[in-house]
A and B are shown apart, each in its own frame.
Chain A
Amino acid sequence: MAPNSPFINFPNSTVHSSQVPITPLESWLPMASRAAPPPLPRRPPPRVLLLRHPHHFSLLDRPLPDGFRFLKPWESPLPLDGFLSSAEARSAEAILTSARAPVTADLLRRLPEVRLVISTSAGHNHIDLAECRRRGIAVAGAGDTKSEEVADLAVGLLIDVLRKVSASDRYVRRGLWSSEGEFALGSKLGGKRVGIVGLGRIGLEVAKRLEAFGCAISYNSRKKKPHISYPFYSNVHELATNCDVLVICCGLNEQTHHMINREVLLALGKEGVIVNIGRGPIINEKEMVQLLVQGELGGAGLDVFEKEPYVPEELLGLDNVVLSPHAAVLTPETVSNLCDLIIGNLEAFFSNKPLLSPVLDE
């Protein structure tokens, strides 16, 4: 701490000097002879349960923030279920989670002191928001730090599928260009009719990029967006019928679960390409795989799957699919912003300030 910092360093927390009471009698005495202010009751550091290893911090070699006590189930000899019943776990006041560790009503029941859930995922379908609301638990999300990176990957996957980039890179590295001759022709991106499913921040960034390549953009969304000139289709089947490419940019909820099914993909057609940077379960994966294998669908660029990290075996042998390990947001900028956001939300909540990225306020 800097010598003249307004923060006073109590052992396990920090207090701003404006919060330390100075009596009027002492205030006109020179600083050196003022009596030390009475100590504040020591507030123990808030306990935060980490449902999964905080890989955002470890990816950047960043330490977890001071001022909190992080409960780490993997360091306990008990299995997770046993750990959650321990006194230590039950003292948790906050939960830090990611998409792979759901916060269910049952979990919340077992952790009665929890007042805050922070998720590092863009979507919230893994958190029982209704239960949180019922219990007065605040929920903070990942905010809007990711739209550009996700859009970049969507475009990268699409060009790769159409122009066979990964497939021809493999071809070169296997020495086949010298021995077998030229690789197969790809398909031109310019002029393709691209249907964006879900025209939120990410969908708009995807649209902006693809327009520069000469694509014609249309979209489907829960509601038609005012001030947007792209053609709107009220259902995804009609969108697919009128497009060569579908890019899934929406969130996962009851309505969007398995929304992209066999009928929609058949409407997209034999030359059609699907790109998914939303959530795996938006697509009926089994039906999509079948159509790809049968040649009824032209190709797919996928960053998300129904049961990550498991990818259907049949896809591994196909040259017209490009597979990505849910990597859309894994850049140093986004991860660093996420770490800042996690810390910012924790500090805000426990100093009674508004959350930086609320999904649900208390």
Chain B
Amino acid sequence: MEGIGVLMTCPMFPYLEQELEQRFRLHRLWDFPSRRRFLEAHAGSIRAVVGDTKVGADAELIDALPGLEIVATFSVGLDKIDLGRCGEKGIRVTNTPDVLTDDVADIAIALMLGVLRKVCGCDAFVRSGKWKSGDFGLTAKFSGKSVGIVGLGRIGSAIAKRAEAFGCPISYCSRSEKPHVSYKYYPTAAELARHCRILVVACALTEETRRIVGREVLDALGPEGVLINVGRGAHVDEPELVAALLEGRLGGAGLDVYENEPEAAEELFPMDNVVLLPHVGSDTVETSTAMADLVVTNLEAHFAGKPLLTPVI
């Protein structure tokens, strides 16, 4: 397989690069001054693309690679891949579900604790020396607060399981009510937001869920409410969110994703009721390694004519 051309779209994880390099002829898109220059040199030899949440495989790239057979994304999210175009051309697509579920759910809870108990703010307080002049003050209790989950898939369910251990009553909204689930169902995000203190976005990004959290949902959540986003920046109307926070119409927010990464809403930087993370949901050594192994195994399976492990199409 050493001769098989694989294109990696951006730096992701050194271990993944090494593993791909050992097995295939790896091309790094970022080594070239432009996409156009890369395509001029190597378009014909590329049979696989490895993308991620920053740079995926859009229609333009897919069309420019005549030999493309498979797109293996280093993520579970598929919003950066033109699935329609892949389908039309019979190109296979794989992602990395399950292996990152726990890590993303952990970050969701970390954000909840961070916003309510001001863990980051307390740390900054101590580091600045202010503790010598007085105590920090009160923070909001987390245990027992109602949690509403937008999207009760793998990640949403894992978040629910963790929040339950803190005594949090769980409710959710989803495309349709899930049978065999004991949590309370609401048909819309706004209805859900009216009935919970902490709203967490954990669904996939699709046309229906784009800006699923807008003014109506934020108003329903209210000045004591907290928004947590571990989905995609595009799930939330970011200007509305920023305004609601600055004006005190929303109690707080814990964000791992933003509309325009790596630009995180700068207006929020001075606020102590927000926690801002640089899209680290699945960023642990253990999970990144497992994800990388999944990408490599899927590619090897494809080129050996064996069944894919985690196909999307």
Contacts and interface: CB of A to CB of B under 8 A. Distances in A.
Interface of A: 55, 59-60, 148-149, 151-153, 155-157, 159-160, 162-166, 168-173, 175, 177-178, 181-183, 185-191, 208-209, 211-214, 308-311, 316, 322-327, 330-335
A55 B107 contact: no
A345 B111 CA distance: 38
Interface of B: 11, 102-103, 106-107, 109-111, 113-114, 117, 119-120, 122-127, 131-132, 135-144, 161-162, 164-167, 261-264, 266, 269, 275-278, 280, 283-288
Contacts of A186: 280, 283-285
Contact of A330 (B107, B135, B164, B261): B135
Contact of A212 (B122, B144, B165): B165
B114 A156 contact: yes
Contacts of B113: 152-153, 155-156, 159
Interface of A is mostly: helix
B284 A332 contact: no
A160 B110 contact: yes
A165 B167 contact: no
B139 A330 contact: yes
Contacts of A309: 131-132
Contact of B102 (A171, A211, A213): A213
Contacts of B124: 166, 170
5 contacts: A182-B283, A209-B166, A330-B136, A330-B139, A334-B141
Contacts of A164: 280
Nearest to B119: A156
B106 A213 contact: yes
B139 A168 contact: no
A209 to B, nearest CB: 5
Given A173-B269, A190-B102, A331-B141, 14 more contacts: A55-B135, A60-B138, A156-B117, A156-B142, A160-B110, A160-B123, A169-B120, A170-B120, A185-B283, A186-B283, A188-B284, A209-B165, A327-B139, A330-B137
Given A166-B123, A309-B132, A185 B138 contact: no
Contacts of B138: 59-60, 330-332, 335
